[in-house]
Amino acid sequence: MHALLITLLVLVSIGLIVVVLLQSGKSAGLSGAISGGAEQLFGKQKARGLDAVLQKATIVLAVLFFILTIAIAYTGL
């Protein structure tokens, strides 16, 4: 059981790192300039498309990371 949780934690950790690195920054070159101009015209709206999917995936993986970490700490006692 403990080995399974450790394996899942490693996989979730790698996934979380990849998802965070795939996200674009606020002022990431041309895409930052375009989104900044659109923000002035249309107001602040949530990101659409790939950025929204990556944001949701980050939240899910972060929650899984914390749950697995607590489970490993609990089973290791």
pLDDT tens column, 59-71: 999 999 999 999 9
Q: Measuring CA to CA, how many Å separate 37 from each of 17, 27, 32, 43?
A: 29, 11, 9, 10
pLDDT tens column, 7-60: 999 999 999 999 999 987 766 555 555 555 555 555 555 556 888 889 999 999
- What integer pLDDT is reported at residue 25 of this predicted model? 76
Question: Does pTM surpass 0.85?
Answer: no
17-45 burial, b at 16+ Cβ within 10 Å, e below that, comes to eebeeeeeeeeeeeeeeebeeeeeeeeee
Tally Cβ neighbours within 10 Å of residue 54.
18
Q: Which residue has the higher pLDDT, 13 or 76?
A: 13
Nearest to 13, CA basis, from 1, 24, 5? 5
